[in-house]
Amino acid sequence: MDHPDQTTDFGFSDVPLGDKQTLVNDVFHSVAQRYDLMNDLMSAGLHRVWKDIMVNALNPPRNDRPFALLDLAGGTGDVAFRAARLAGKGFAATVCDINPDMLRVGHLRAVSRHLEHQVSFVEGNAEALAFPDRHFDACTIAFGIRNVPRIEVALREAYRVLKPGGRFLCLEFSSVDVPGLDRFYEMFSFKVIPPLGRMVTGDAESYRYLVESIRKFPKPQAFSEMIRAAGFLRVSHQSLSGGIVALHSGWRL
Ligand SMILES: C[S@@+](CC[C@H](N)C(=O)[O-])C[C@H]1O[C@@H](n2cnc3c(N)ncnc32)[C@H](O)[C@@H]1O
């Protein structure tokens, strides 16, 4: 049973679940303006490659066939913009995020790219989506699920709003499995990212949380089990960049 006093250790060790969301919201409030720049610096631009791999797997129609994408925890809309660039005229993306500051940055970007009719921004909690059942053709979530306090609830919601035949794709940090790279990654995560975060966003603490939450996220096999438990079928995952990131996939059939 979920309970508001239940604690979580996916980052912010041992804080009650309700408090975790407040802390996560503070993190993204604090970094929203410089979030995209920080992504580039932290990943040496690799986040672009990972997101493009996800969007290619999504494979939206290139013609005017209607295709509705829900990009959960979509922040400033990076995944939705990449999908829109690939897709045809029938494509529409809804970027849903709990943080209005991230959404504001994304909406301004949509306007400046003349994409505001294809990419819309909606405030909402991944644990309680305000969308009808069987509504979307696909649901993506990139680097978002580990920030959600009750992951299993968000996975069930993603399943609920997908049409039968719809695909769920999730990009998330994973566990590095290449000898040597694991030590470098650990050092980079704890010694480089927080000071870099302080320099770019003025906030080292938020980036310390992000690094801690990455370490505590379930291993890919365990996360695949959680996806299966939410009802998805044909669940699989693909390790990227030596396991720094994994792309998870499941279908509502
Ligand atoms: C690391 S950012 C990822 C943003 C975007 N998907 C990307 O890859 O650029 C994580 C996002 O998760 C959002 N988030 C955290 N908890 C959430 C929740 N319960 N429901 C919806 N979004 C949430 C944050 O506000 C933040 O924008």
Task: Please report the pLDDT score of residue 17 as a whole number.
Answer: 67
Atom of ligand 1 nearest to the CA of 74: 6
Q: Is 74 in the pocket of ligand 1 (CB under 6 A)?
A: yes
* pLDDT tens sequence across 154-183: 999 999 999 999 999 999 999 887 878 887
The pTM for the full model equals 0.90
C-beta of 139 in contact with ligand 1 (< 6 A): no
Query: For residue 14, what pLDDT is reported?
Result: 57
CA of 180 to the centre of ligand 1 (A): 30
Closest residue by Cα to atom 15, ligand 1, is 147
- Our answer on whether the CB atom of 73 is closer than 6 Å to any ligand 1 atom is yes
Q: What is the DSSP string of the chain?
A: ---TT-EE-SSSTTEEHHHHHHHHHHHHHHHGGGHHHHHHHHHTTHHHHHHHHHHHHH---SSSS-EEEEEET-TT-HHHHHHHHHS-TTEEEEEEES-HHHHHHHHHHHHHTT-TTTEEEEE-BTTB--S-TT-EEEEEEES-GGGSS-HHHHHHHHHHHEEEEEEEEEEEE----STTHHHHHHHIIIIIHHHHHHHHHS-HHHHHHHHHHHHHSPPHHHHHHHHHHTT-EEEEEEEEGGGTEEEEEEEE-
Counting from 1 in the atom list of ligand 1, the atom nearest the Cα of 25 is 25
* Ligand 1 centroid to residue 26 C-alpha, Å: 12
* Residue 97 CB less than 6 A away from ligand 1: yes
Ligand 1 centroid to 95 CA: how many Å?
10
Q: Give every residue of the chain whose pLDDT is below 50, as ranges.
A: 1-10
In this prediction, residue 4 carries a pLDDT of 38
98 lines ligand 1 (CB under 6 A): yes
224 alpha carbon – ligand 1 mean position (Å): 20
Give yes or no for residue 28 CB within 6 A of ligand 1: yes
